[in-house]
Structure 1
């Protein structure tokens, strides 16, 4: 009886020792995984800091990061992958914040220089939006953003008038009318257009559209907001078509079938059911296209004169001076001092505008997901 008890007791002790060893191994492994992730993350941020400081020792944390990631990938692949994704996400946010801080800090001198007093209170940068003269040579020097904002608005409105209706119509055709074989061929072709470099569009506009416009409308020079807007609208068209088509295709088939069962035609179903149901997604597609038009650089730089100024009258689309993007592209190489700081102000205006449009499109898409029961 005692021998059985001793045997049972020995077996229990062996099981406890095995469990204790397994627990210690897991704890050791967890510590090793945590140490690997922490070392790789710290090395990456140290390398980033060394890069910003232009230090010759930046290579050291880079090597440590590569070694830590290599070791972790071999020993603890899942944990290392999670740590890398988290670190890269944090790095992306950090870089965005640094870019934002940098452009705002660089614009401070010219904002202070262009201050204007209103009711006894000095408002920094107010003169940049109340005057219309950009002159980096004559005294007093002035850096007004009004002419470039006017040019950007003109080009954006024309581009939206081109990309909006055409993009939505093409998306409706691909989603609701075109046979499947046509859709499988046309949609990838439309998306490929988005990969064509903007300088190619600008060069075609400069060598084909602008000379034709000069001959037909007797325009002095080649820069016109009208044809720049058309070119930029064609560039934004693939974005509008792709996003709008996805939104239209996400409308539940039950809604369309129910409408057809009530005796409506295909066209009535598209206009009264599909488009209203996908309106949020279609609006987001147009907003993304507008964001592309606002941020377009090379086409506007190639086709416009690049001389800041307002058209006379303001709605004259058969003339063109400069946009915010073309101003930066044309002057950044030779600008210095306050003029360079003024270019950063133009960058801030573009940054804030595109950010607002992006947030607006995401908000509209979120509304559509809620409206359609989470489908998109």
Structure 2
């Protein structure tokens, strides 16, 4: 066997080993998470956990209601999506198709740098700047609301959405664009009728990654959403304090006795969060494959 084949075989074996390690690590994480989460239901009914409207883990009797935490995460995530997805896709189209190349060379790295800013910095900015502004502008009792959290999460998701969407749009073959222009389409018609549909696979993946960032974010929402474990309405709930699943785990895990019902309840919340993120990833793969198949 030649040295080249030996090197190729070694690289293949290394990549295979990395893949196996990733799968095993994920499997062990699932066991660790679900094992402690399931132990809650030995004493607390599973139906109550899913449908109870109160989260009072230190009261007597205790209430481990997932509903206010899940709906809090949901309303903040929906708000972040409505804010970030249209803005992110529009920015990606501008950078890829409209902006002067010299300007695009500045904008693209700048947006990617924003992705590296720690979440606590975004949270501090939201707490000091955005919270007082929202409170004063909308005349609310407090600016720590679901709306504030949605805006901050939307800002944090923008770099991911812009970067991946721009890559997808730039990857559309020039022959497709030139063919549309040759048929008499204007530049704008080519963008929204040819280029964007051809890049939908990558754009949908970018959107799903942005949603995953919003669902899993902890520090920022903990600092700007008020952390009130109540069931939010819609759209009125956007202007009220809420508590997300991630913030609940971060706030309470360090203070609970290990092995207590409260401890296992937090693992159960983490399990639901894991399943939710897993479903989002499955949906992302489905959408990506669906549009890729059509093209």
- TM-score, length of structure 2 as denominator length: 0.91
For the 8 Å contact 2:169–2:199, the answer to whether it is kept is yes
Give secondary structure in 2 for the equivalent of 1:321. coil
Which residue of structure 2 lines up, in the alignment, with residue 232 of structure 1? Answer: 153
For the 8 Å contact 2:80–2:150, the answer to whether it is kept is yes
For the 8 Å contact 1:211–1:222, the answer to whether it is kept is yes
Which residue of structure 1 lines up, in the alignment, with residue 80 of structure 2? Answer: 159
Which residue of structure 1 lines up, in the alignment, with residue 240 of structure 2? Answer: 319
- Aligned equivalents of 1:275 and 1:328: distance in 2? 39
Residues 1:173 and 2:63 are matched in the alignment: no
Which residue of structure 1 lines up, in the alignment, with residue 120 of structure 2? Answer: 199
The alpha-carbon deviation at position 371 of structure 1 amounts to 4.4
- Aligned equivalents of 2:142 and 2:181: distance in 1? 55
- Aligned equivalents of 2:124 and 2:133: distance in 1? 14
- Aligned equivalents of 2:193 and 2:232: distance in 1? 42
Which residue of structure 2 lines up, in the alignment, with residue 364 of structure 1? Answer: 287
- Aligned equivalents of 2:174 and 2:189: distance in 1? 15
Which residue of structure 2 lines up, in the alignment, with residue 308 of structure 1? Answer: 229
Which residue of structure 2 lines up, in the alignment, with residue 266 of structure 1? Answer: 187
The alpha-carbon deviation at position 179 of structure 1 amounts to 2.2
Which residue of structure 2 lines up, in the alignment, with residue 10 of structure 1? Answer: none
Question: Residue 99 of structure 1 is aligned with which of 20, 24, 29?
Answer: 29
Look at both structures and tell me which one has the larger radius of gyration over its CA atoms.
Answer: 1
Question: Residue 142 of structure 2 is aligned with which of 203, 221, 233?
Answer: 221
Which residue of structure 1 lines up, in the alignment, with residue 70 of structure 2? Answer: 149
For the 8 Å contact 2:161–2:209, the answer to whether it is kept is yes
Instruction: For residues 278-300 of structure 1, give each alpha carbon's deviation from its aligned partner in whole angstroms, at most 9, with x where no partner exists.
Output: 22321221111111111111100
Q: 1:142/1:174 Cα in 2 relative to 1: closer, same or farther (>3 Å)? A: same
- Aligned equivalents of 1:313 and 1:357: distance in 2? 22
For the 8 Å contact 1:306–1:330, the answer to whether it is kept is no
Which residue of structure 1 lines up, in the alignment, with residue 200 of structure 2? Answer: 279
> Which one is further off, 303-312 or 141-150?
303-312
Q: CA RMSD in A?
A: 2.0
- Aligned equivalents of 1:138 and 1:314: distance in 2? 30
Give secondary structure in 2 for the equivalent of 1:107. helix
The alpha-carbon deviation at position 114 of structure 1 amounts to 2.9
Q: 1:368/1:180 Cα in 2 relative to 1: closer, same or farther (>3 Å)? A: farther
Instruction: For residues 122-168 of structure 1, give each alpha carbon's deviation from its aligned partner in whole angstroms, at most 9, with x where no partner exists.
Output: xxx11112120111222221100100111111110110011100001
Unmatched 5+ residue regions in structure 2?
none
- Aligned equivalents of 1:284 and 1:79: distance in 2? 32
- Aligned equivalents of 2:17 and 2:275: distance in 1? 26
Which residue of structure 1 lines up, in the alignment, with residue 44 of structure 2? Answer: 114
Give secondary structure in 1 for the equivalent of 2:238. coil
The alpha-carbon deviation at position 108 of structure 1 amounts to 1.4
Question: Residue 55 of structure 2 is aligned with which of 131, 134, 137?
Answer: 134
For the 8 Å contact 2:56–2:63, the answer to whether it is kept is yes
Which residue of structure 1 lines up, in the alignment, with residue 265 of structure 2? Answer: 342
Question: Residue 175 of structure 2 is aligned with which of 246, 254, 258?
Answer: 254
> Which one is further off, 136-145 or 313-322?
313-322
Instruction: For residues 203-245 of structure 1, give each alpha carbon's deviation from its aligned partner in whole angstroms, at most 9, with x where no partner exists.
Output: 0000111112222333223420001100000000011111111
- Aligned equivalents of 1:224 and 1:185: distance in 2? 34
